[in-house]
Amino acid sequence: MNLALVDPFVLAQDMPEALIARLRSSGAAVCLRFNRQGDLLASGTAKGAIAIFDLETHGVARKLRGHTPGRQVQSLSWSACGRYLLSSSVDWKAILWDLNDGSRIRTVNLGAPIYIAELHPHNHLLCTAALFEAQPVLASLDQPSTVRKPLPSTPKRSAYEQDEKHDPKNTTTVTIFTPSGEHIITGTTKGWLNIIKASTCSVIYSTRLSSKALLLLRLTTSGRDLLVNAADSIIRTIHLPDLDDPSFDPDNMRLEVEHKFQDVVNRLSWNHVAFSPSGDYVMASTLMNHDIYIWERGHGSLVKILEGPKEELGAVEWHPQRPFVAATGVESGRIYLWSVNTPQRWSALAPDFVEVEENNEYIEAEDEFDIHPIEELHKRRLDLEDEDVDVLTVDPAKPGQVKHEFRMPVLLDIHASDSEEEMVAIGAGQYRRKSQGPESEVLEDDEDAIPANGQTKRRRAD
């Protein structure tokens, strides 16, 4: 209903304009991720907790705790249906959550602190992870005893390139699946980009993009455009071929950098990067700076700088469907939201509604406030009740529109809290607010409640 009140020309905008809200949960948020539908925002904190926000109300819909307290959550990854969430941490653990009840489906120890972990696009029981000073893995989560397949970090070289024995050690820092899940793209500490065949866990193509580490990789929804953030303060965009094409030959592939985005004046470094939903824009947060830079990919030009709070911004995410951006504050741990200004269009609900800038004298019609007989009003009501309303038939989804059945239940007793001690565990991954004592559990409206014996019971005044 809220979208009906918004001017359609505002919805057509493709870039956020201003800071509209601040979110805060227990602990300092360090990583963010929107679900595919765009109605929920998951955030991981430096204390090992996870909060999921409902973007309609900006309230906390669920809190999850399963990682070692005090160990930072490194990454979050949603399943395509939005029911499952994978979280990884420096405590060596990756946890797969079922958001239907907040339970933990699987907790796996990958043997090293985790840089980043991501779910398979079509199978929530399969994930890939980049580990600290260890080989990346492809892990199956369908059994209690996790099956882990090591992924190579050594790039594939041609005959004329340097032999791997004389090459410094490569360690994988980031891994992502392609949209089909058939390939895994990884980045290393020496600036190599590797494309790995998931079925054989072998490198089919490698190219060196930088002399320094690749920090983050992002793909568009189509999987044809790749965004690379490297430690050399340069953001690169690369157009990928169709890796799933049967005629695709990796031996003849040559990847070329499409655009390089950097600040040649101030030499700014980039904390985090993201694509817009259409892939037309590239966004980045800056080190030791409180602005978000947005570039247009067509010409590679800077088109907007989002001004935020007076603190450095860390992780940034773009909403999967709307001009809506979320970012974390490095110092405060708050989550900041940018969007377009959306004045409400009330004429969508009342066609005769007219906005006026000043009071106008209203002249009523001759029969506008006439009192009608009760019999006539009753007859009108009965005539309206004779209309048959079909509440059982479900309209088919439009072509190209993905239909999602899952809706996460919202726990009404979970509120945004600045104190971790206010929440107590009531089950695996489920929490409620602490009680302040027997008297605090009695509601103000229940002072005259009638107990089972039929006698009126009043609260005792101390």
| Digit-coded pLDDT (tens) for 238-270 | 999 999 888 888 888 889 999 999 988 888 899
The stretch 21-26 carries a mean pLDDT of 82
Residue 258 burial (CB count, 10 A)? 13
Q: Please report the pLDDT score of residue 105 as a whole number.
A: 93
Mean pLDDT of the chain: 81
What number is the average pLDDT over the span 309-323? 92
Question: 446 versus 15: which is more confidently predicted?
Answer: 15
Comparing C-alpha atoms, which of 327, 273, 306, 343 is closest to residue 17?
306
Mean pLDDT of 12-34: 85
pLDDT at 264: 81
**141-169 b/e with 16+ CB inside 10 Å = b?**
beeeebeeeebbbbbbeeeeeeeeeeeee
Average pLDDT over residues 432-446: 39
pLDDT of residue 344: 66
Task: Catalogue all structural domains in the chain, each as residue range(s) with its CATH number.
Answer: 62-158+168-308 (2.130.10.10)
**In the numeric block, which tokens belong to residue 277?**
């939903």
